[in-house]
Amino acid sequence: MARNTVNTTVSIEPPDALFLSWASGINASGLFREALAEQMAYRDIDRDELSILIEEALTDTNRDLDDLLDQTSSIEDLNALLESDPSND
């Protein structure tokens, strides 16, 4: 099964761009992942649980990442999608 990777373009403000150019040792993608982890924690989403559910959806169903992006907007949606899938029985 082919795996899709989501690529996202992020616009940054001029002060941020200048600072990042000064501090070239900073891993901007690492900062982005850290911010996502903080937001997941704030929204009470367990990243490990989410990873397991996504892996299950991608390996045990005929769905791909685009399907998940189109059909879900929360972890509850993802759970419901997996529970309603007849191939999981």
Report, as an integer, the average pLDDT of 40-58: 94
The amino acid sitting at 26 is I
* Pair 88, 67 in one domain: yes
Q: What is the extent of the structural domain holding 29?
A: 12-44
Please report the pLDDT score of residue 70 as a whole number.
92
Residue 6 lies in a domain: no
Report, as an integer, the average pLDDT of 25-44: 92
Please report the pLDDT score of residue 87 as a whole number.
63
* Pair 39, 52 in one domain: no
Please report the pLDDT score of residue 88 as a whole number.
58
Of residues 1 and 16, more confidence is placed in 16
Stated pTM of the model: 0.70
Number of domains in the chain: 2
Please report the pLDDT score of residue 73 as a whole number.
93
Of residues 44 and 29, more confidence is placed in 44
Q: What interhelical angle do 47-60 and 28-42 show, nearest 10?
A: 100
Report, as an integer, the average pLDDT of 5-11: 78
